[in-house]
């Protein structure tokens, strides 16, 4: 991510997002241009979105792609690679744009430039979402899925998946991610 101009209000950010072709992440007055993805990144994001959509299509939940902006109570506005919302979406309508605030599951496909941020600071910001139950981090250069989820009592734990025969079972919604399908048509170099 590349920092643009600091100290925008949320309203200015949302106006700029509605008028530009480049997506930006927003946090505490600063906007960061989001980099484009690789073919592996795009394939994984598409695979996850297809799995999510198929799993929730006959339920009260809805799957979203990276085009849906998510907001957190901690002040982050961003575009995860995939998300699921159950029940009525908590939608903020500003400047002709929509932002959702109540996801139960969020997915980030990791890159070299954002992987550390997605695992640490971004996770801390995401955890401020009261409805969030599952956070999935997916490697794109090898098989590697990290599933962070809420446990009874409100804490978070993590489970790692590194073989294609495994299945990631989400806790906040009835969805299973077969690891082999997450990585379908992904070419490791």
Segment of 25-29, 96-100, 123-127 carrying the highest mean pLDDT: 123-127
pLDDT of residue 28: 85
pLDDT of residue 92: 76
65 - beta bridge partners? 82
pLDDT of residue 17: 80
Give the Cα separation of 25 and 117 in Å (integer).
13
CATH topology assigned to domain 38-182: tt1808, chain A (3.90.1570)
Banded pLDDT at 91 (limits 50, 70, 90): confident
Pairing mode, if any, of strands 30-33 and 61-65? unpaired
Banded pLDDT at 25 (limits 50, 70, 90): confident
Give the Cα separation of 2 and 5 in Å (integer).
10
Let me know: does 43 contact 184? Beta carbons within 8 Å: yes
164 - beta bridge partners? none
Let me know: does 104 contact 134? Beta carbons within 8 Å: yes
Let me know: does 84 contact 56? Beta carbons within 8 Å: yes
Question: Domains of the chain: which residue ranges?
Answer: 38-182
- Order of strands across the sheet that contains 61-65: 61-65, 82-86, 103-109, 134-138, 145-150, 156-161
Give the Cα separation of 127 and 73 in Å (integer).
9
Banded pLDDT at 96 (limits 50, 70, 90): low
Give the Cα separation of 52 and 15 in Å (integer).
30
Q: HEC string of 122-182?
A: HHHHHCCCCCCCEEEEECCCCCCEEEEEECCCCCEEEEEECCCCCEEECCCCCCEEEHHHH
């Amino acid at each position: 991510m590349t920092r643009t101009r600091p100290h925008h209000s949320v309203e200015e950010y949302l106006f700029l997002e509605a008028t530009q072709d480049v997506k930006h992440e927003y946090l505490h007055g600063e906007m960061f241009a989001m980099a484009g993805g690789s073919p592996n990144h795009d394939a994984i994001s598409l695979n996850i979105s297809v799995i999510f959509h198929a799993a929730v299509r006959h339920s009260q939940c809805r799957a979203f792609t990276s085009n849906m902006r998510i907001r957190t109570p901690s002040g982050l506005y961003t575009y995860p690679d995939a998300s699921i919302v159950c029940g009525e979406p908590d939608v903020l309508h500003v400047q002709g744009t929509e932002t959702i605030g109540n996801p139960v599951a969020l997915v980030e496909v990791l890159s070299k430039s954002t992987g550390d941020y997605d695992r640490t600071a971004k996770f801390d910001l995401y955890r401020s979402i009261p409805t969030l139950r599952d956070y999935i981090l997916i490697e794109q250069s090898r098989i590697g899925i990290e599933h962070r989820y809420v446990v009874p009592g409100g804490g978070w734990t993590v489970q790692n998946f590194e073989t294609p025969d495994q299945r990631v079972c989400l806790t906040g919604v009835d969805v299973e991610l077969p690891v082999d399908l997450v990585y379908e048509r992904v070419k490791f170099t």
